Structure 1
Amino acid sequence: MTRNPESRVRGRYRLATVGCAAAGAVLLSSGAALADTSAEEAQNRYEELQRELSELNEAFNQAEQDHEAAAAELEDVEERLAQAQEDLDAMSSDVVQIARSAYTGATHSLFAVLFRESPDEALQNIADLDHLSAGQQIVLADYVTEVERAEELRAEAAAAEDAAAEALEAAETAQTEGEAALEEQEEALADLGGEDPTAGAAATGGAEVAASGDVRAVLDFARAQIGKPYEWGGTGPDAYDCSGLVQAAWAQAGVNLPRTTYDQVNAGTRISRDEVRPGDLLFFYDESAPSHVGLYSGNGNMIHGSNPSKPLEEVALADYWDGVFTVAVRVG
């Protein structure tokens, strides 16, 4: 085998740990909706929760992706160990005979002779088998080293998978609590006569925006999803989250975008707000690690999904969304 999973296992372990901590940090900033005393305060709090909810969604997506990768890595290492056992089984008969010939009258098995002590002592045991040829000693020494490293990797991979599973569970819990907080705040805002500041104006009209064949396919697909539910981690075809919609739309043009906004923001050329054209990705809240994305559809509009209380929609960027815009990216 030619696999070298050591660095990937350690990297995923760090990602899972960071993701779990980030989800917890976001929850700490949540507050009780009913503590708001004015429509303006309720609106400001709703905006804060919308941003936090976007962060929670992308933290969930990252945690889910990390868990899938960690589980696959653990499976890979288990296969490596299984192959090593098959290799041992294939040679054990001959090797046991060689080992027994070195210890006249003994009934030791290969494991009893080689693995009864620590790995270093096992290597020494091999060297002590004077009747083994140099080539046979090398084969056995290599096998001991391989098993030892594979066992270490299995422990690391299992720890990474456990950490990733915990991070995913924490992200799911944070999502549920965050969504409940937003719904509560929405009710408080309505009771005070306020309006959802993130809804944005209805999409503005205007002449049809010219677009290439690929971009036209992307926008046609995205518009066909308008009205479908927003769903945590949704990648279609019945429901989407913001990054899932963008990923699925650009797949229509043969472009394989990453799953999360954290990676999508680095999937093309960054451009300024006044350079955007249809099909460009618009990112919001944090330029280095944005938690929300939409597709620019022309005439100052974008197609996106913002949270589970609203379906996928096309809205004008004016006011709220332009106020939290950070960077645009051109792909394709």
Structure 2
Amino acid sequence: MTFALPGAQPAQAAPTALTVAEAKAQIEQLQTEAEVIDQDYVGVQQQIADGKAQLALKQADVEAQTAKVALIKRQVGQVALAQFQNRNVDTAARIFFTSDSDNLLSQVSTVEKVSQNQNTVLQDYQEQQAALAELEHSTETDLAVLTDQQKQLTKLRAESVAKIAESKKVLAKLTATEQAALAAADKKAADDARAKAEAGLTDPSAAPTDDTSGTSDITGSGRGATALAFARKQLGKPYVFAAAGPNSYDCSGLTMAAWRAAGVTIPRIAAAQSKQGKVVSKADLQPGDLVFFYDASNPSHVGMYVGNGQIIHAPHTGSVVKYAPLSSMPFVGARRPG
């Protein structure tokens, strides 16, 4: 017979230590999730900017409409005064008592015209007053939407910060030696990507990789080459949440700024950029083309094709603008702006 000691708890198995590969996978997943949130944040931020611009126009309309209603209101007051002054003697009595019927009939005709004008003024006042009320209501609705969007921004920012903090906790579970090995592997991958990208840029005859079968023009030309040249000048600049230059970037901020340098305006966020320009197959990629990753219907990451199977992009918080293999993330489509 065995007896359990009072208060004794069943032995808990020690948590299994993460391998470097497992930690790397978890960190990359958390970084990807954080970037999805970052793009959502930028999207809401753009909605707020557009909403504020629209609200400013509506507020100007409200001011103009208020002035218009005030003017018509004064006219209505004048009409009311005229009606009060002429209320005692009706037209039939005035004709009976007057000795100058021709002049009176002319006056009556004028009074009828005034009455018609009075009705027009009153109707106009009612219509303009209703238009003012509608504008004021619309403005109040826009303000409420903006308030909700500002709250959404705060929530999204907190979620992104939490994801990054969680990734740091995963990294902290590794030993110093394991962390060093992970950093060394990342550096080697970055160096390899740079070497392949630079080789492709300087050697037009460089053979395409499996990622770009059929690609011929790896040196690029025209606007794509101009956009790519701009992006390359940003190498080493830090990824910063919702940044679009000139000292730091997020993924879509970099591509937007690069194509703007080439004289082409594209939207601010990756998902919207994926709907602009000419659709390009992976086999036909050219330098400067935008490449999208993760979700075909709503891409959360965008980079720029360099050539030789490499891209340039702003990856995630804690990283910098750098080269990477096109195959390093799930490719879901490409576009050629301009």
> Equivalent of 2:246, from 220, 237, 240?
237
Partner of 2:332: 326
Partner of 1:276: 285
Partner of 1:138: 123
Matched, 1:261 2:285: no
Matched, 1:195 2:186: no
- Superposed displacement of residue 237, structure 1: 0.9
Using a 3 Å threshold, how does the CA distance of structure 1 residues 35 and 306 change in structure 2: closer, same or farther?
Answer: farther
More deviation, 257-266/94-103: 94-103
Using a 3 Å threshold, how does the CA distance of structure 1 residues 308 and 47 change in structure 2: closer, same or farther?
Answer: closer
Partner of 2:75: 94
Partner of 1:153: 138
Matched, 1:301 2:310: yes
1:49 and 1:328 map into 2 onto residues whose CA distance is 24
1:278 and 1:327 map into 2 onto residues whose CA distance is 15
1:195 and 1:103 map into 2 onto residues whose CA distance is 92
For the 8 Å contact 2:256–2:266, the answer to whether it is kept is yes
- Aligned residue for 1:210, secondary structure, equals coil
Using a 3 Å threshold, how does the CA distance of structure 1 residues 102 and 169 change in structure 2: closer, same or farther?
Answer: farther
Partner of 1:286: 295
Q: TM-score by structure 2 length? A: 0.73
The percent identity for this pair of structures is: 28
- Aligned residue for 1:195, secondary structure, equals helix
**Structure 1 gap ranges (5+):** 1-33, 106-129
Write the deviation string for residues 90-141 of structure 1: whole angstroms up to 9, x where unpaired. 3333322223444579xxxxxxxxxxxxxxxxxxxxxxxx786232122112
2:182 and 2:281 map into 1 onto residues whose CA distance is 30
- Aligned residue for 2:182, secondary structure, equals coil
> Equivalent of 1:181, from 160, 166, 170?
166
Partner of 1:19: none
Using a 3 Å threshold, how does the CA distance of structure 1 residues 297 and 38 change in structure 2: closer, same or farther?
Answer: same
Write the deviation string for residues 121-169 of structure 1: whole angstroms up to 9, x where unpaired. xxxxxxxxx7862321221121122022112212211111111111111
Partner of 2:39: 58
2:314 and 2:174 map into 1 onto residues whose CA distance is 21
> Equivalent of 2:261, from 249, 252, 260?
252
Using a 3 Å threshold, how does the CA distance of structure 1 residues 63 and 189 change in structure 2: closer, same or farther?
Answer: farther
Structure 2: which amino acid aligns with 1:177? A
Partner of 1:46: 27
- Aligned residue for 1:326, secondary structure, equals strand
- Aligned residue for 1:133, secondary structure, equals helix
Structure 2: which amino acid aligns with 1:53? A
For the 8 Å contact 2:314–2:322, the answer to whether it is kept is yes
For the 8 Å contact 1:296–1:302, the answer to whether it is kept is yes
1:261 and 1:75 map into 2 onto residues whose CA distance is 28
- Aligned residue for 2:291, secondary structure, equals strand
1:292 and 1:298 map into 2 onto residues whose CA distance is 18
- Superposed displacement of residue 35, structure 1: 8.1
Partner of 2:104: none
The number of equivalent residue pairs is: 272
Structure 1: which amino acid aligns with 2:238? P
- Superposed displacement of residue 287, structure 1: 0.7
- Superposed displacement of residue 273, structure 1: 2.0
> Equivalent of 2:59, from 78, 92, 95?
78
Using a 3 Å threshold, how does the CA distance of structure 1 residues 179 and 132 change in structure 2: closer, same or farther?
Answer: same
- Superposed displacement of residue 85, structure 1: 1.3
Partner of 1:115: none
